[in-house]
Chain A
Amino acid sequence: MNQRHTDSIGDYLHNFPGGLKLKHHKALSCSKPLPAAEIPLSREYVVPITQHLGKPTEIIVSVGQSVKKGQALSKPGKSGQAPGAQVHAPTSGIVTAIQAMPVPHPSGLSSPCVVIEADGNDSWIKLEPVKDYKSLSCIELIQHVRAAGIVGLGGAVFPTDIKLQSTSCSIDTLILNGVECEPYISCDETLMRQAPERVIEGALILGHAFNITNILIAIEDPMDTCRKTLEKCIKQFDADDLITVVCVPMLYPEGGERQLIQVLSGKEVPAGKLPSAMGVLVQNVATIAAIHAAIIEGKPLIERLVTVTGAGIKDPQNVSARIGTPIADLVNYCGGYTPSVARLIMGGPLMGLGLQSDQLPIVKASNCILALTHANIASKQTEMPCINCGNCVNVCPAGLLPQSLQMVIRADNFEALESLNLDACIECGCCDYVCPSHIPLVDYFRYGKGEQRARAREKQFSERAKSRFELRETRLEKLKAERLARHQKRKQALVGSADKKDSVAAAIARAKARKQAITDQQASSRSNPENNSSSGSEDHS
């Protein structure tokens, strides 16, 4: 490691609590170079509309429409809502269907997808690369990243533009996460070995736009060739004083964002806060390479490196696969399954997701397709009661108390759960792995998190219903008052007209009285005419 004059993040290595030393199993897929030619086009691509963490995006193509490679298929929802990452056509062809189809998701439920039948031409839309990335401000960079539909490719698939936006241009350290600590997965290592310039230049693009003074590329100890390639490439870009390669000891789950920051800085990112609070931005190396492609080549995120590996695959290797490729096509490209294959997993053996079928499409989150044999899979063990051995506490990288969490979740005691910080759990599976009672701890935590969120949603909904009910009550009240007031007014108007009647009657009475007076006078004037004429002139005046 390079020595520096001032102590900054990455100068010394520290520890995070817990963690596991696991067998690597990476040589299986990583020993081979990337295939020079692209894998053959599939007949059909199924592109799920929601491949990111967040709100669904809006579909902007229709059935029968022909699309070019790289054309946007969806757009982020209305501003104001949290925008999602848009998806793009992986090849040119015709949109044959827009419908709910099975996607790689633990629920096994379907989700809206755009199906594109490839026309074989594979022709791009007009690409608009940025000529000089040094002219980009951080806002412009974020716009490019958004248009390219880039999400965190380490596995969390959180929209990168939102992550960059939330850092609000106030960071000084960029950590490129190439740790890839989960066994079997080697797509990031392959990327760094075979295309280091994309990672390094990508880092420079981000570093320039965000005025970053310290860029670290974190890789694991055993990746020595990777370190040499990266350092050579850094020299080529003349970025020695800006970019440093740091080898961290091999320990699962060091590739977790918070764990990596802790190893490099010795400080824990406070619960509920983002790393940007410490002036740090962590990006996976594959995400950086995608940003590089978006800026230098103008290409949206339509392909990614996928590790196809495991004892169940004949010819394990890393391949560059387009989003939407059926997993079966990738497996066939890698020689197909071995006879002993038993289980298909997307992701690694600890955090991965069991797949129901190999007809599912590759999505932005698919870093690895792992086919295991029976020999690899531990047989399902009977769950025994917790014996409070504390092994799970020792290995938890987030410093939680898995056994207490498990007990309160089992009892559905969600009030007690609030003080145990379940949200900090990264579902790494370490506690599961060491539990001598075979308790599926992570399954409990996933249930607990889901239920907690569902309850919060319900609470919010009932509060809204209450306020709507109250608003309606006050409105009805007001209407009633208005109606009453109107009635009152009308009544008064009626009373007023009664007065008029009285006045009319009074006028009639007065007129009658006068008439009476006149007739009386006339009667008297017949007897006395002089008096009559004088009284008549008085009347007229």
Chain B
Amino acid sequence: MTAAVIILTILALIFGLALGYAAIRFRIVGNPIADKIEAVLPQTQCAQCGYPGCRPYAEAIAAEEVEINRCPPGGEAGIKQLAELLGKEVIPLDEDVGIEKALPEVAIIHEDICIGCTKCILACPVDAILGAAKQMHTVITDECTGCELCIPPCPVDCIDMVPTKIDINNWHWHKPIPITTITDAGISSNIQSSEQSG
């Protein structure tokens, strides 16, 4: 009886020490779940989700304070990825925060209207606007995330969002559209019309 108590006590002590050591030695720094969520988010830093950037939103999702459908730039694909990562249901994008754009957009400054007030420069979360007080400003297109945060501060409304252009360098093949829906009659009429035109 006493032997058993002593052995168990010693064992408890040993395990307790080992666990205590492990807790210090293998301490997890930061929030790994938030890191994973942040990696999925598009890093536009647009704050449309209501948080001041992608990291705070990721932390809020990790803490389960907020739904995963508040990121318009990430869109449906982003929601799907988040749902997969967190084992949640895929839900549609919350339209109150914004809508998903068909094509990514970048800001352009109409340089003849710009008065050089530097307000947009202060608003840009990724330092993609170049300029100085009373000098013309311009957007570094390659760095612009399309967050639109520069638009409200502009006193002369000289910033526009334009969809990024698809040219030969960034074009890629679209997904094949299966032609299973075309009826036989449709196919033969297609061939006939092409024969006539050829």
Considering the complex, give the chain B residue whose CB is closest to the CB of A462: B43
- A379 B191 Cβ-Cβ under 8 A: yes
Tell me which of B167, B171, B176, B194 contacts A440 (CB under 8 A): B176
Counting chain A CB atoms within 10 Å of each CB, the highest count among B42, B176, B191 belongs to B176
Please report which residues of chain B, range 1-48, place their CB below 8 angstroms from some CB of chain A when the two chains form the complex.
Answer: 38, 41-45
| Contact of A109 with B167 in the complex, beta carbons under 8 Å | yes
Q: Chain B 160-198 against A: per-residue CB contact (8 Å), 1 yes, 0 no?
A: 000000111111111110111010000100110011001
Contacts of A465 in B (CB 8 A): 43-45, 126, 143, 145
| A107, A440, A454, A457 interface centre (most CB from chain B within 10 Å) | A107
Chain A residues with CB below 8 A from B41, complex form: 462
A447 vs B173: C-alpha distance when bound (angstroms): 5
Residues of A within 8 A of B180 (CB): 382-384
A4 contacts the other chain (CB 8 A): no
* Residues of chain B in range 110-162 having any CB-CB distance to chain A below 8 Å: 125-128, 143, 145
Contact A468 B126, beta carbon cutoff 8 Å = yes
Q: Pick 27 A–B contacts, CB within 8 A, sort by A.
A: A50-B168, A56-B169, A105-B168, A106-B173, A109-B166, A109-B167, A109-B168, A110-B168, A341-B198, A342-B194, A342-B195, A382-B180, A440-B176, A443-B176, A447-B174, A450-B173, A451-B172, A453-B172, A454-B170, A454-B172, A458-B42, A464-B143, A465-B45, A469-B45, A469-B53, A471-B127, A472-B126
Contacts of B175 in A (CB 8 A): 444, 447
Can you name the residue of chain B whose Cβ is closest to the Cβ of A106? B173
Whether A526 sits at the interface, judged by CB under 8 Å, is no
B65 CB to closest chain A CB (Å) equals: 21
- Least Cβ–Cβ distance between B64 and chain A, in angstroms: 23
Question: Is B54 at the interface (CB under 8 A from chain A)?
Answer: yes
Given contacts A111-B167, A380-B179, A383-B179, contact A472 B127 (CB under 8 A): yes
Given contacts A109-B167, A382-B179, A464-B143, whether A469 and B173 have CB atoms under 8 Å apart is no
A392: min CB distance to chain B, Å: 15
Q: What class of interface size applies to chain B in its complex with A?
A: 35 or more
Complex Cα spacing A466 to B46, Å: 12
- Complexed CA–CA distance, A384 and B179 (Å): 9
Q: How long is the Cα–Cα vector from A110 to B168 in the complex, in angstroms?
A: 7
Other than the known A380-B187, A461-B145, what 11 A-B pairs have Cβ atoms closer than 8 Å?
A103-B168, A109-B166, A342-B195, A379-B187, A380-B179, A383-B178, A443-B173, A450-B172, A453-B172, A466-B54, A472-B127
Q: Does A446 contact B (CB under 8 A)?
A: yes
CA distance A56 to B167 in the complex (A): 12
Is A472's CB under 8 angstroms from B125's CB? yes
Contact status B43-A447, CB under 8 Å: no
In the complex, chain A residues whose CB is within 8 Å of the CB of B179? 380, 382-383
Q: Does A224 contact B (CB under 8 A)?
A: no
In chain A between 266 and 317, which residues have their CB closer than 8 angstroms to a CB of chain B? none
For the complex, would chain B's binding face be called helix, strand, loop or mixed by DSSP majority? Answer: loop
Tell me whether A235 is interfacial, beta carbon within 8 Å: no
- Cβ–Cβ < 8 Å partners of B176 in chain A: 440, 443-444, 447
Which of A110, A444, A469, A472 is the most central at the interface, judged by chain B CB atoms within 10 Å of its CB? A469
Question: What's the Cα separation between A458 and B187 when bound, in Å?
Answer: 39
Query: Nearest 4 CB-CB pairs, A to B?
Result: A450-B172, A462-B43, A446-B173, A443-B176
- A341: chain B residues at CB < 8 Å are 198
In Å, the complex CA distance between A449 and B179 comes to 22
A463 interface contact, C-beta 8 A: yes
Residue of B nearest to A450 (CB): B172
Question: Complex: how many Å from CA A382 to CA B177?
Answer: 11
B72 smallest CB distance to A (angstroms) = 15
Q: How far is the CA of A50 from the CA of B171 in the complex (A)?
A: 14
The residue in chain B whose Cβ has the minimal distance to the Cβ of A472 is B127
Instruction: Tell me the complex Cα distance, A341–B197, Å.
Output: 11
Contact B173 A374 (CB under 8 A): no
In the complex, A66 Cα to B196 Cα: how many Å? 45
Q: How far is the CB of B44 from chain A (nearest CB, A)?
A: 7
Proximity string of chain A (91-111) to chain B, C-beta cutoff 8 Å, 1 when within and 0 when not? 000000000000101110111
Within 8 A of B (CB), among A423-454: 440, 443-444, 446-447, 449-451, 453-454
Q: Which of B53, B54, B126, B143 has the most CB of A within 10 A?
A: B126
Instruction: Check A463 against B168 for contact (C-beta < 8 Å).
Output: no
Closest to B167 in A: A109
Q: Which residues on the B side are within 8 Å of A472 (C-beta)?
A: 125-127
Q: How far is the CA of A321 from the CA of B170 in the complex (A)?
A: 29
Query: Across the interface, which residues of B come within 8 angstroms of A453, CB to CB?
Result: 172
Known contacts A107-B168, A472-B127; A374 and B195 CB within 8 A of each other? yes
Residue of B nearest to A409 (CB): B175
Residue of B nearest to A475 (CB): B127
Q: Would A469 and B168 count as touching, CB distance under 8 A? A: no
Minimum Cβ distance to chain A for residue B80 (Å) = 9
A342 near B145: Cβ-Cβ < 8 Å: no
* Distance in angstroms between the alpha carbons of A109 and B170 in the assembled complex: 11
Complex Cα spacing A325 to B127, Å: 46
User: Using Cβ atoms and an 8 Å threshold, which residues of chain B touch A466?
Assistant: 38, 43, 54
In the complex, which residues of chain B have a beta carbon less than 8 angstroms from the beta carbon of A447?
172-176
A440 and B179 alpha carbons, distance in the complex (Å) = 10
Q: List the A residue with the shortest CB-CB distance to B84.
A: A415
A457 to B145, CA, bound (A): 13
Give min CB distance, A463 to chain B, whole Å. Answer: 7
Contact status A342-B173, CB under 8 Å: no
Complex: how many Å from CA A383 to CA B191? 17
Q: Point out the residues of chain B lying under 8 angstroms from A384, CB to CB.
A: 180
Closest CB of chain A to B142's CB: distance in Å? Answer: 9
